[in-house]
Structure 1
Amino acid sequence: MAAGKLSPRQRMINMMYLVLTALLALNVSKEVLNSFFEVNRGIESSTDNFYYKNLKTYADFDRAVQNNPEKFTEVRNKAYSVKDNVDELFIYIQEMKYDLVSEVDKGVVYLGNTQEILDENGEPKEDLAIKNKKFSSLTTKQKQMPIAWLTRKDDRYGSSDLFMPKTIAKNKQRATILKNKIIEYRDFAISVAGDNQNLIDKINVIFDISDRGTGKNKQTWEIYNFYDMPSVGALTLLSKIQLDIRNVEADLIDYLKKNIDSKSLKFADAMGIQIPESNFILSGDMFKAEIFVTAFNKDRNPDVYVGEYDSLPDGTYKMRGKEGVDYQVVPVENGRGIYEVRTGPQGPKKWGGLISMKTETGTKFYPFMGEYLVASKQGVASPTNMNVLYMAVNNPIKVAVPGYPASKIVVSVIGGSSQGTINAVNKNEGKWIVKPTQSAKSSKNKPFIQISVRDGNTIKPIDKIAFKILDVPNPIPTARGISVNKEKVTRGELIDAQKLIAFMGDDFYFDSDEVKYTVREYTVNYSNRQGNFTDVIKGSRFNSVVENAIENTKIDGVITISNIKVNRPGVNALTTLRGALIYRIIGN
Structure 2
Amino acid sequence: MAGGKLSARQKMINLMYLVFIAMLALNMSKEVLSAFGSINEKLAQSNTSFESKNDLALNNLRDKASENDEFAKAASTAQQAAQLSKTFYDYLEAQKNAIYEGNKIEDRKDYESMDKTQYLDETYYKSGKVSAEGQEFLDQMNAYRTGMVALVSESNKGLADQIKNDFSTADIEDSEGIKKDYIGYHFVGFPMVSSITKMTQIQNDIKVVENELLSKLLSGNLKELAKLDNYETVMTTSKGAYYTGSTFDGVLSLGRVDASTKPSRVELKLDGRAIPQDKISYDGGKLVLGVNTGGVGDHDITGTLVYLQDGKEVPVDVKQSFTTINKPNSAIIAADKMNVVYRGVQNPMTITFAGVDDSKVRASGTGLNPVKGSKYVMSPGKGKEVTINVTATLPDGGGTVSDKATFRIKDIPRPVGTMRNDDSGSLKMTREAVGAAPVGAALPDFDFELNLKVNSFKFKAPGAATVLVQGNKLNDAARNALKKVRRGDVVQIFDIKAKIQGNSTYNLRKISPVLIELTN
Compare relative contact order (CA 8 Å, sep 6+) and give the higher one, 1 or 2: 1
Note whether the superposition's TM-score is higher than 0.5.
Answer: no
TM-score after normalising by structure 1: 0.38
